[in-house]
Amino acid sequence: MEKQVLRGFLANVVVNPPLIVTFQFNPESISDNKAVYYAERYASLSEDSPGKVYTGGGDRTISFEIKLHGLEQGTNALNPAPVDNGISTELAKLRSFLYPRTDAWAMISSGEEGRRISSPPTCIFGFGTKILECVVTGMDITETQFNSALAPVRAEVKITLTVIEEMDNKLHTLDKARRSALAAMGIQNIRPF
């Protein structure tokens, strides 16, 4: 029995049909950063008081790089023409996370403009135990190889996400609970002196 490798993904479930980009190759590394802000505390009464006071937290950002690789004949059976072969379809899906303006399916099926989608669109980022609702705040696409029709067949894509950390966001609540449980499990690793 062959084991299947889990793949990370980005999903835009706001549009109809949902757009899902499954990572062809998982990122080699993921940066997960959270800004924290402190202010100076001036206490003249006690020398035991800390010099800094927590004033709030900034955005949690996740950034990573994925690689796309398509065959020159193309891997997309829906777009068999040479210009659309390669990874053009995947690049178009990735770019849609930045600014989907209308419901793509309504445009294709009826020929009319679909419903407007409020900006910025949210997406679901999934990678292992991380399932988070985010906003894509940056995408840098570098196309590195092309076929004879100059359609891209390889690309490197750097993606930056801002995690939606609102209290009513169920994915954020689940992620907080998971992190708290893991931190509590880490207490067991402390050995008394």
Torsion of CA 9, 10, 14, 17, to 10 degrees: -50
Range 68-93 average pLDDT: 67
Q: How far is CA 92 from CA 35, 86, 97, 104, 167, in A?
A: 31, 12, 9, 12, 32
Closest C-alpha among 70, 175, 180, 88 to residue 127: 175
pLDDT digits (tens, 9 = 90+) for 55-64: 888 899 999 9
* Rounded Cα gap, residues 106 and 102, in angstroms: 8
Sign of the CA dihedral 70, 73, 75, 78? positive
Q: Is the pLDDT of residue 105 over 80?
A: no
Q: How far is CA 106 from CA 56, 127, 150, in A?
A: 43, 30, 30
| Second-level CATH architecture of 9-27+34-187 | Beta Barrel (2.40)
Percent of the chain at pLDDT > 90 equals 32
Residue with the two structure tokens 């403009």:
113
Tell me the whole-structure pTM to 2 decimals.
0.75
Residue with the two structure tokens 């190759």:
25
pLDDT digits (tens, 9 = 90+) for 169-193: 888 888 888 888 888 877 666 665 5
35 residue type, one letter: A
Whole-number pLDDT of residue 16: 76
Residue with the two structure tokens 């924290």:
36
